[in-house]
Amino acid sequence: KQEVTQIPAALSVPEGENLVLNCSFTDSAIYNLQWFRQDPGKGLTSLLLIQSSQREQTSGRLNASLDKSSGRSTLYIAASQPGDSATYLCAVLTGGFKTIFGAGTRLFVKA
C-alpha cells in the first residue's frame, strides 16, 4: 500500500531564506507526483507536476525534484517571502485513479 510522508510537519523560517520541503513515498511505481499549496480555509492550488519520466520541474522560485528509486521528492523554495506562508502538500498518483496525499508541511515565513 502506497504511503506518502511529509517532513517536517511544520517549519518557520525568516524571510529571504532558501528552504527545502520533503516528500517520501513507499512504492516507486508512480505515474506522477504533484505539489500543491493550500492557504487557510482555501482550496488546493497546483504548483508543480512531475511525470514519472521526469527528474525535476521549475516554476519561478520553485523547483521540485523527483527520485523514484529512493522514493523521494523535494520542493525547493528560493528567497522565501511572507506570502509563501501556507501548507504545502505532495500527492502521488499510483494509477487506477488512486492519488495518495501527504499530510502536508505548514510553512511560516517571518518578515
Partner 1 sequence: NAGVTQTPKFQVLKTGQSMTLQCAQDMNHNSMYWYRQDPGMGLRLIYYSASEGTTDKGEVPNGYNVSRLNKREFSLRLESAAPSQTSVYFCASSEPGQGWGYTFGSGTRLTVV
List of residues contacting partner 1 (CB under 8 A): 31-32, 34, 36, 41-46, 49, 51, 89, 91, 93, 97-99, 101-104
Q: How far is the CB of 41 from partner 1 (least distance, A)?
A: 8
Neighbours of 24 (CB within 10 A): 18
Q: How far is the CB of 21 from partner 1 (least distance, A)?
A: 16
Which CB, 14 or 97, lies closer to partner 1?
A: 97
Which CB, 35 or 84, lies closer to partner 1?
A: 35
How many angstroms separate the CA atoms of 88 and 39, rounded?
Answer: 9
Which CB, 4 or 80, lies closer to partner 1?
A: 4
User: What amino acid is encoded at 80 in this protein?
Assistant: S
| Contact yes or no for 66/87 (Cβ under 8 A) | no
Q: Would residue 95 be called left, alpha or beta, if left means φ above 0 and alpha means ψ between -120 and 50 degrees?
A: left
Among 93, 94, 47, CA closest to 74: 47
Q: How far is the CB of 67 from partner 1 (least distance, A)?
A: 18
Q: How far is the CB of 48 from partner 1 (least distance, A)?
A: 9
